[in-house]
Amino acid sequence: MTAKMTDTRIDLATHLDGAALPQGLSELLALVASACVDIRKVVSGGALAGALGASGSVNVQDEEQKKLDVISNDILTDQLLASPLVAGVASEEMDNCQPAPHSGGKFLVLFDPLDGSSNIDINAPVGTIFSVLAAPEGDITDASFLQDGRKQLAAGYVLYGGQTMLVLTTGNGVAGFTLSLDGQWLLTHPDIKISADTKEFAINMSNQRHWAQGVQTYVAGCLQGVEGGRGKNFNMRWVAAMVADVHRIMMRGGVFLYPWDKREPNKPGKLRLMYEGNPMSFLVEQAGGKSTTDGRAAILDVTPTELHQRVPVILGSANEIDIIADTCGV
């Protein structure tokens, strides 16, 4: 008879207890992680759970919501607002914030409940992105959440892929946890670092004709390969879920670009500052990478003016981000 092996890895609670965090933050992050386990169960059920397809509604960005968008949003909203630690939540899927029904909460939580909606019905990777801020005194309104990215207390994402992974920062590096078969978050990547150099870039090439000239110049240089001015061959990768594309960069380097384009020239970008740009930039910078809106301004230094504000996003391996800024003038 073979003895059952015991995994002695550090679990999420133990890892958080060992960090010098504001009172209550470790419990809040454990709650977010638990809610994501519930989301993962619905995602993995797919058609068997009746969770595929459109919900018949649109969100504040006038985008069609999938059933899983709504279900994931409800799971996070309900569980977080039930906690006395939470003063309010804001979501990419809701028009306005939702204050907690109680007083005394210390934290605000923002989230994209299910990033990568176009991947849901084809069983490709999707994920949850979240950000934690300190709650200001007084009534909670949309304005309470308009804090710049450097004020984040924590940020992370959960990738629902071949393995379910939580990647988390509390401002002291980045750690990765894998969900075990018995439902525990176990530390598998204790100190994630993004390589400074890369031969990979992620961008939606179908939009090439709409990009600003600087981005076109950069990508053209990558595509010229070893014969071009860069002197090396590049691979292009695009999963169509920011969580998956950023996770690849976390694991092996690369750059991700979702730049401004001229299809909607009055909109600065497609991705949302509060739900995607800020939390992902916090993670990337904590892992040694860089993030920027245009090659000059850091995303974390952008002053938010509205809850659903959009920004261009360029992030990833530090030296490659410098090349984008220095040689392309974007």
Q: In the chain, what are the domains?
A: 12-189 (3.30.540.10), 200-328 (3.40.190.80)
Asked which of 6-10, 180-184, 249-253 is least confident by mean pLDDT, the reply is: 6-10
pLDDT recorded at residue 237:
95
Residue 173 has pLDDT above 80, yes or no: yes
Q: What is the pLDDT of residues 257-287, one digit of tens each?
A: 999 999 988 888 999 999 999 999 999 999 9
Binding positions for substrate: 115-118, 204, 270
Confidence of residue 245 (pLDDT cuts 50, 70, 90): very high
Percent of the chain residues topping a pLDDT of 70: 91
pLDDT recorded at residue 134:
98
pLDDT recorded at residue 59:
60
Binding positions: 92, 112, 114-118, 204, 270, 276
pLDDT recorded at residue 2:
36
Q: What is the pLDDT of residues 94-104, one digit of tens each?
A: 999 999 999 99
Nearest CA to 19 among 148, 187, 134? Answer: 187
Confidence of residue 46 (pLDDT cuts 50, 70, 90): confident
Q: What is the pLDDT of residues 108-134, one digit of tens each?
A: 999 999 999 788 888 889 999 999 999
Residue type, position 107, single letter: F
Mean predicted confidence (pLDDT) in 6-24: 88
Per 3-state DSSP, the chain is made up of helix, strand and coil in percentages (nearest 5) of 35, 25, 40
Provide DSSP, 143-209.
GGG---GGG-SEEEEEEESSSEEEEEESSS-EEEEEE-TTS-EEEEESS----S--SEEE--GGGGG
228 token code pair: 């071009």
Query: Which residue shows structure tokens 């950023």?
Result: 246
Mean predicted confidence (pLDDT) in 229-255: 96
- What is the number of other CB atoms lying within 10 angstroms of the CB of residue 285? 22
Report the alpha-carbon distance of residue 88 to residue 100 in Å, rounded: 5
Report the alpha-carbon distance of residue 155 to residue 169 in Å, rounded: 6
Confidence of residue 67 (pLDDT cuts 50, 70, 90): confident
Binding positions for Mg(2+): 92, 112, 114-115, 276
